[in-house]
């Protein structure tokens, strides 16, 4: 058993050394790896700024009165929100916000009914500011309902809020919004927190997708298959050099976002490093699977772009995945970037630790195992 493990590790490292030597003498690849992070850092840090639906929200109703229940019903009736999730305490609500399971938490104070009779009611709205665009709009919708709310029940609040605005104190009901995790609602923080995920997705998909098909076109694939190695050893050996490059890209993206824009991870750096490994391996495996499926480099490039674009759109790095239709949201869950961006935002913006990213970590590990099995089935162990 020990001898088999030693032979397995030796074969993987031999293939990795051969591929790493080839990459070291590829100035075009090295130049792209160095320049792309700078370009995307400037793009998402300086250039970009971003209709919610199916918004997950919770209600901490300390009043339990007819007026408070009618208010909650009017908010849900706008059509932008899912049915509210009952919350028992502030701690429970904060935990759900930290995990990204809620976008907004409406807190109805204990004296809400009494204050309504006096004409001075208030409620608190806690919003997940990690996504500034969604937080501002959701806060605007709730504020619009609060301003139109009829304390006497003679009419129903406006069903839509076409032009949401920050609630004002001169309405019949004052909603006091408070934004967590990104109080200033900077779009820059929203994008830069997942910059590493976008860079690594592009790098891993593009680089690994040309590996096997490139060798097949250059005539060296036969020599690779003639080595005393299994397909799994060949695949892992090809992935290892890119794992090292990926950690360089991760470090560059995190440090530059912190130095130039002040967006440093608030959570565990160790958890960030641990989470990155299965994501990189899963993303590289997608590229290897593409390379094993196609016959030419042109086909590999086309199929890789076809995978990268949905990854950016459906994963939630640019648009909140929680607000997507259920079918589309489920489709995005098979993409490694979906789970990595969830973990990144928990670590970078919400100050999470390893325990907070166990679900994304497990999902990425399972994706890597499934993709490696598919690659193994697709690759022929020997010629013919």
Per-residue pLDDT band at 168 (split at 50, 70, 90): very low
* Between residues 87 and 34, the one the model is more confident about: 87
Instruction: Say whether pLDDT at 143 is over 90.
Output: no
pTM over cut 0.75: no
Query: Does residue 128 sit in helix, strand or coil?
Result: strand
* Size (the chain), residues: 384
Instruction: Say whether pLDDT at 151 is over 90.
Output: no
Per-residue pLDDT band at 20 (split at 50, 70, 90): confident
Which of 187-191, 263-267, 380-384 is the least confident region?
380-384
**383 found inside a domain:** no
**384 found inside a domain:** no
pLDDT of residue 227: 65
Per-residue pLDDT band at 170 (split at 50, 70, 90): very low
> Average pLDDT for residues 145-173, to the nearest whole number?
53
What's the gap between Cα 222 and its chain centre?
A: 39
Instruction: Say whether pLDDT at 318 is over 70.
Output: yes
The structure tokens listed for 160 are 């839509």
pLDDT of residue 36: 60
**374 found inside a domain:** yes
Sheet containing strand 122-128, strands side by side:
85-86, 57-61, 104-108, 122-128, 174-180
pLDDT of residue 282: 94
pLDDT digits (tens, 9 = 90+) for 204-222: 888 888 776 776 666 666 5
Query: Does residue 59 sit in helix, strand or coil?
Result: strand
**74 found inside a domain:** yes
Q: Can you tell me the distance from the alpha carbon of 261 to that of 239, in angstroms, rounded to the nearest whole number?
A: 32
User: 159 and 39 in one domain?
Assistant: no
Final residue of a structural domain among 180, 196, 224: 180
Q: What percent of the chain has pLDDT over 70?
A: 77
User: 167 and 308 in one domain?
Assistant: no
User: 151 and 82 in one domain?
Assistant: yes
Q: Can you tell me the distance from the alpha carbon of 55 to that of 84, in angstroms, rounded to the nearest whole number?
A: 9
Full residue range of the structural domain in which residue 90 is found: 57-180
User: 368 and 247 in one domain?
Assistant: yes
Contact 189, 349 (CB under 8 A): yes
Nearest alpha carbon to residue 109 among 62, 179, 48, 41: 62
pLDDT digits (tens, 9 = 90+) for 93-127: 888 888 888 989 999 988 887 877 777 778 889 98
Number of domains in the chain: 2
Q: What percent of the chain has pLDDT over 90?
A: 24
pLDDT of residue 224: 62
* β-sheet bridge partners, residue 179: 127
Final residue of a structural domain among 159, 180, 201: 180
Instruction: Say whether pLDDT at 161 is over 60.
Output: no
Which of 10-19, 65-74, 192-201, 348-357 is the least confident region?
10-19
Which residues have C-beta within 8 Å of that of residue 258, sequence separation ≥ 6? 264, 265
**111 found inside a domain:** yes
Instruction: Say whether pLDDT at 356 is over 50.
Output: yes
**258 found inside a domain:** yes
Final residue of a structural domain among 148, 163, 180: 180
Q: What are phi and psi of 58, to 5 degrees?
A: -130, 160
Q: Can you tell me the distance from the alpha carbon of 191 to that of 237, in angstroms, rounded to the nearest whole number?
A: 33
Q: Can you tell me the distance from the alpha carbon of 195 to that of 40, in angstroms, rounded to the nearest whole number?
A: 8
Domain CATH number, residue 128: 3.40.1710
Q: Can you tell me the distance from the alpha carbon of 181 to that of 105, in angstroms, rounded to the nearest whole number?
A: 14
DSSP H or E run through 178: strand 174-180
Which of 45-54, 77-86, 195-204 is the least confident region?
45-54
Per-residue pLDDT band at 309 (split at 50, 70, 90): confident
């Amino acid at each position: 058993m020990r001898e088999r493990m030693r032979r397995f590790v030796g074969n993987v490292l031999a293939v990795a050394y051969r591929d790493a030597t080839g990459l070291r003498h590829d100035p075009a690849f090295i130049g792209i790896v160095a320049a792309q992070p700078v370009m995307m850092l400037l793009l998402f840090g300086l250039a970009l700024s971003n209709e919610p639906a199916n918004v997950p929200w919770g209600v901490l109703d300390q009043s339990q009165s007819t007026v408070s229940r009618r208010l909650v019903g009017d908010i849900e009736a706008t059509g932008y929100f899912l049915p509210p999730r009952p919350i028992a305490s502030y701690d429970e609500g904060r935990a759900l916000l930290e995990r990204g399971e809620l976008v907004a938490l409406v807190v109805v104070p204990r004296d809400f009914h009494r204050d309504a009779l006096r004409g001075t009611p208030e409620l608190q709205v806690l919003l997940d500011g990690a996504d500034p665009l969604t937080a501002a709009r959701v806060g605007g919708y709730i504020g619009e309902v609060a301003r139109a709310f009829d304390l006497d029940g003679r009419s129903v609040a406006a069903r839509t809020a076409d032009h949401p605005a920050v609630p004002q104190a001169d309405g019949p009901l004052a909603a006091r919004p408070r934004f967590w995790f990104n109080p200033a609602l900077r779009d820059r923080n929203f994008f830069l927190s997942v910059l590493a995920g976008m860079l690594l997705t592009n790098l891993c998909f593009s680089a690994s997708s040309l590996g096997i098909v490139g060798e097949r076109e250059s005539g060296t694939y036969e020599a690779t298959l003639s080595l005393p190695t299994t397909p799994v050893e060949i695949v892992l050996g090809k992935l290892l050099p890119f794992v090292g490059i990926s950690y360089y890209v991760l470090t560059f993206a995190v440090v530059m976002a912190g130095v130039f824009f002040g967006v440093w991870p608030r959570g565990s750096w160790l958890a960030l490093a641990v989470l990155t490994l299965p994501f990189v391996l899963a993303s590289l495996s997608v590229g290897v699977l593409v390379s094993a499926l196609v016959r030419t480099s042109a086909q590999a490039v086309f199929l890789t772009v076809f995978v990268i674009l949905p990854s950016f759109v459906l994963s939630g790095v640019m648009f909140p995945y929680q607000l997507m239709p259920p079918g589309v949201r489920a489709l995005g869950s098979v993409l490694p970037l979906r789970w990595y961006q969830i973990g990144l935002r928990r670590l970078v913006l919400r100050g999470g630790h390893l325990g907070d990213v166990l679900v994304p970590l497990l999902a990425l590990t399972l994706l890597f195992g499934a993709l490696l099995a598919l690659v193994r089935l697709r690759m022929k162990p020997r010629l013919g």
